[in-house]
């Protein structure tokens, strides 16, 4: 039986995971991990990065903790490990409270070899305490490049992973970013509090991919491309914005011979999950989507990936087009370049790189505010500090910069009040729960019905009052019971808006302007490479040579900054 306290040899580990052959770069990276080196792996999309930490985990005693921002990836990997008898647990917001309780009990008992969790889990002291009590072998940071994402302060909980490293003392840390240059790697090292001593990097293109650049491309061109695809060929069409996804989907659907789906972050989570599941079951042939689609899910049989416009960097473009042909079969990557292709990516770049004046104006809004804790929205700050609500995206980035500089502290104050509308008495419905859970859910329903601040069929519910009435039930579980009642059609539950809170840490405005300028130049240099790649209709050989030359330069820069012992070189 495999547990946190067992180790097996390489031959048996490969057999358990169903691995017949390892690629050369995988073997060398695994060797670095087994030597307990802090390892950076920058490998092509679909190359099999998970093997690099899963095999050493089975060959070593201790627990491997994997931090990932992708719920779909965590669920997929935990399910695959479970099927071959490897105890793994996931902890994230998509798991019901009772299942999380069981997972935590298994983790604390030392029965788990892998723990997959979102970085936000580190906000919970009980989780950190559980890790400190375990023999942690390694910490894996998936999608580590997001540590250098500033716009909107994307996943700020990633900053807490460095604290976890210092608290649980793993033997080594493994970081797996998307294509990343020296600046991003320096940010990752600083955030984790380590120095990488082993680097494994390969060029991101693959020989089975055919590249096309189509200048002047229009939606008619995309429609023609779809019409020319052989029956049964599946693919993804990546758009720059949600609005473009909606409009292009509506334009293509009436005449498309394929079954189309659409996917973007503004869709309800249940709709996103349903369409993603349909695509996985081959019930959808082509997905019109933003770059949120495909993260963490392995669709090996995509025969084409289309981009309807420019990305903000060549790195981003190559990562996304690398989702084509993961099974090694011939596949096509097409970049359509419309006449106005520069407007959207350059708008995004300006959001990612606010001016010092913008940052200072947002800081002064908070520094001069009469309240010690400011509850606000980005649109309000944009209007008051920058003069117009349209500056809201820039405000989010400014707040991220200020937080990183320790000038402000920001957090979300979760909504405590909920509006509940009675739809049907659950006792008249076909309830799917076991008797013990059903009794608890009905108890919650009865309390709301009796004690809620009622206005006809609508009740104003304060969660803290419900918690006080049923102190033996954790708050997270009570909230889950509300959602369960909503799912079966007994209640409609709508939460108040989350409040965004900000506290000024210091009254002196002081930021590293050199760092801001370095980031701005770095971002625009990556975008310039994207422009150069798209400047004319290259042949596949020319496109491949351009991509390899670009990433070869990044690789040489990375090798110059990572301390490597001779046996780690390859």
Using one digit for the tens of pLDDT, what is the confidence trace for 270-286? Answer: 688 789 889 989 999 99
Asked if residue 326 lies in contact with residue 300, where contact means CB atoms within 8 angstroms, the answer is yes
pLDDT at 505: 87
- Supply the angle between the helices 125-132 and 161-168 in degrees, to the nearest 10: 40
Q: State the pLDDT confidence band at 563, using cuts at 50, 70 and 90.
A: low
Q: Is the pLDDT of residue 414 over 60?
A: no
Q: State the pLDDT confidence band at 151, using cuts at 50, 70 and 90.
A: very low
Give tens-digit pLDDT for 41-51: 988 777 788 99
Tokens of 529: 């490479």
Q: Is the pLDDT of residue 325 over 70?
A: yes
Q: Is the pLDDT of residue 329 over 60?
A: yes
Mean pLDDT score, 201-229: 89
Give tens-digit pLDDT for 232-258: 999 999 999 999 999 999 999 998 999
Give tens-digit pLDDT for 456-467: 567 777 777 787
Residue 279: CB partners within 8 Å, gap ≥ 6? 261, 287, 299
pLDDT at 457: 64
Q: Is the pLDDT of residue 76 over 90?
A: no
Q: Is the pLDDT of residue 261 over 90?
A: yes
pLDDT at 185: 87
pLDDT at 6: 78
Q: Is the pLDDT of residue 394 over 90?
A: yes
Q: State the pLDDT confidence band at 454, using cuts at 50, 70 and 90.
A: low
pLDDT at 269: 66
Q: 408 by DSSP, 3-state: which?
A: strand
Residue 262: CB partners within 8 Å, gap ≥ 6? 245, 246, 249, 275, 287, 288, 289
Q: Higher pLDDT residue, 567 or 522?
A: 522
Asked if residue 219 lies in contact with residue 239, where contact means CB atoms within 8 angstroms, the answer is no
Q: State the pLDDT confidence band at 450, using cuts at 50, 70 and 90.
A: confident
Backbone phi and psi for residue 124, each to the nearest 5 degrees, phi listed first: -100, 120
The CA–CA distances, whole Å, from 344 to 197, 325, 331 equal 39, 28, 27
Asked if residue 181 lies in contact with residue 553, where contact means CB atoms within 8 angstroms, the answer is no
Q: Is the pLDDT of residue 108 over 50?
A: yes
Burial of 444 (0-12, 13-18, 19+ CB in 10 A): buried
Q: Is the pLDDT of residue 567 over 80?
A: no
Q: State the pLDDT confidence band at 566, using cuts at 50, 70 and 90.
A: very low
Select from 74, 54, 62 the least CA-distant residue to 112: 62
Q: Is the pLDDT of residue 369 over 70?
A: yes
81-90, 394-403, 463-472: the lowest-pLDDT one: 463-472
Q: State the pLDDT confidence band at 92, using cuts at 50, 70 and 90.
A: confident
Tokens of 328: 């090694």
Select from 510, 485, 331 the least CA-distant residue to 405: 510
CA 530/CA 313 separation, integer angstroms: 6
Q: State the pLDDT confidence band at 309, using cuts at 50, 70 and 90.
A: very high
**Would you list the DSSP string of 350-373?**
HHHS--HHHHHHHHHHHHT-SSSE
Give tens-digit pLDDT for 505-548: 888 999 999 989 999 999 999 999 999 999 999 899 999 999 98
Give tens-digit pLDDT for 26-67: 899 999 999 999 999 988 777 788 999 999 999 999 999 999
Q: Higher pLDDT residue, 416 or 224?
A: 224
Q: Is the pLDDT of residue 494 over 80?
A: no
Mean pLDDT score, 404-424: 77
CA atoms within 13 A on the CB side of 382: 15
**Would you list the DSSP string of 250-264?**
HHHTTT-SSPEEEE-
pLDDT at 137: 95
Mean pLDDT of the chain: 86
Q: How many CB atoms lie within 10 A of CB 436?
A: 8
Give tens-digit pLDDT for 347-366: 999 999 999 999 999 999 99
Buried b (16+ CB within 10 A) or exposed e, 310-346: bbbbbbbbbbbbbbbbbeeeebbbbbbbbeebbebbe
Q: Is the pLDDT of residue 119 over 90?
A: no
Asked if residue 419 lies in contact with residue 459, where contact means CB atoms within 8 angstroms, the answer is yes
pLDDT at 565: 40
Q: Is the pLDDT of residue 175 over 80?
A: yes
Q: State the pLDDT confidence band at 266, using cuts at 50, 70 and 90.
A: confident
**% of the chain at pLDDT higher than 90:** 46
Q: Is the pLDDT of residue 23 over 60?
A: yes
Q: State the pLDDT confidence band at 564, using cuts at 50, 70 and 90.
A: very low
What is the pTM for the complete model shown?
A: 0.77
Strand order, beta sheet including 453-455: 453-455, 458-462, 417-422, 491-495
CA atoms within 13 A on the CB side of 60: 22
Residues facing 33 on adjacent strands: none
Mean pLDDT score, 161-188: 88
Q: Is the pLDDT of residue 95 over 90?
A: no
């Amino acid at each position: 039986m495999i547990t946190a306290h067992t180790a097996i040899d390489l031959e048996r580990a490969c057999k358990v995971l169903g691995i017949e052959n390892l690629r050369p770069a995988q073997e060398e990276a695994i060797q670095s991990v087994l030597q307990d080196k802090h390892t950076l792996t920058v490998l092509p999309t679909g190359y099999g990065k998970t093997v690099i930490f899963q095999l050493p985990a089975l060959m070593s005693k201790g627990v491997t903790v994997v931090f990932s921002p992708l719920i779909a990836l965590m669920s997929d990997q935990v399910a695959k490990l479970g099927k071959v008898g490897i105890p793994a647990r996931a902890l994230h917001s998509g798991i019901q409270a009772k299942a999380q309780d069981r997972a935590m009990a298994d983790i604390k008992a030392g029965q788990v070899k892998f723990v997959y969790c979102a970085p936000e889990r580190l906000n919970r002291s009980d989780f950190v305490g559980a890790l400190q009590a375990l023999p942690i072998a390694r910490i894996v940071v998936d999608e580590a490049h997001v540590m250098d994402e500033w716009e909107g302060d994307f996943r700020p909980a990633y900053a807490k992973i460095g604290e976890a490293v210092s608290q649980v003392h793993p033997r080594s840390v493994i970081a797996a970013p998307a294509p990343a240059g020296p600046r991003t790697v320096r940010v990752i090292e600083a955030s984790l509090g380590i120095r990488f001593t082993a680097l494994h990097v390969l060029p991101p293109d693959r020989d089975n991919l055919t590249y096309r650049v189509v200048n002047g491309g229009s939606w008619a061109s995309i429609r023609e491309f779809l019409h020319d695809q052989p029956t049964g060929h599946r693919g993804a069409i990546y758009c720059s914005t949600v609005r473009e996804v909606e409009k292009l989907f509506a334009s293509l659907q009436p005449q498309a011979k394929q079954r189309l789906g659409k996917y973007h972050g503004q869709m309800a989570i249940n709709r996103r999950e349903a369409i993603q599941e349909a695509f996985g079951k081959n019930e959808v042939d082509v997905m019109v989507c933003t770059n949120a689609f495909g993260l963490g899910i392995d669709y090996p049989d995509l025969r084409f990936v289309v981009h309807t416009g420019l990305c903000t960097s060549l790195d981003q473009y190559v990562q996304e087009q690398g989702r084509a042909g993961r099974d090694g079969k011939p596949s096509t990557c097409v970049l359509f370049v419309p006449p106005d292709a520069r407007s959207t990516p350059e708008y995004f770049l300006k959001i990612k790189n606010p001016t010092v004046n913008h940052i200072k104006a947002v800081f002064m809004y908070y520094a001069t505010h009469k309240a010690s804790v400011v509850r606000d929205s980005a649109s309000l700050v944009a209007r008051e500090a920058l003069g117009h609500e349209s500056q809201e995206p820039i405000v989010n980035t400014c707040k991220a910069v200020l937080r990183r500089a320790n000038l402000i502290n920001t957090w979300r104050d979760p909504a405590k009040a909920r509006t509940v509308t009675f739809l049907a008495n659950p006792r008249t419905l076909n309830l799917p729960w076991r008797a013990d859970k059903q009794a608890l859910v009905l108890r919650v329903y009865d309390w709301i019905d009796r004690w809620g601040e009622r206005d006809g069929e609508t009740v104003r519910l304060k969660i803290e009052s419900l918690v006080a009435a049923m102190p033996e039930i954790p708050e997270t579980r009570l909230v889950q019971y509300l959602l369960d009642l909503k799912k079966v059609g007994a209640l409609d539950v709508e939460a108040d808006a989350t409040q965004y809170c900000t506290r000024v840490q210091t009254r002196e405005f002081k930021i590293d302007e050199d760092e801001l300028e370095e980031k701005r130049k770095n971002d625009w240099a990556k975008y310039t490479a994207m422009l150069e790649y798209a400047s004319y209709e290259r042949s596949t050989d020319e496109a491949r040579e351009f991509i390899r030359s670009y990433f070869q330069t990044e690789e040489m820069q990375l090798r110059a900054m990572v301390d490597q012992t001779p046996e780690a070189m390859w």
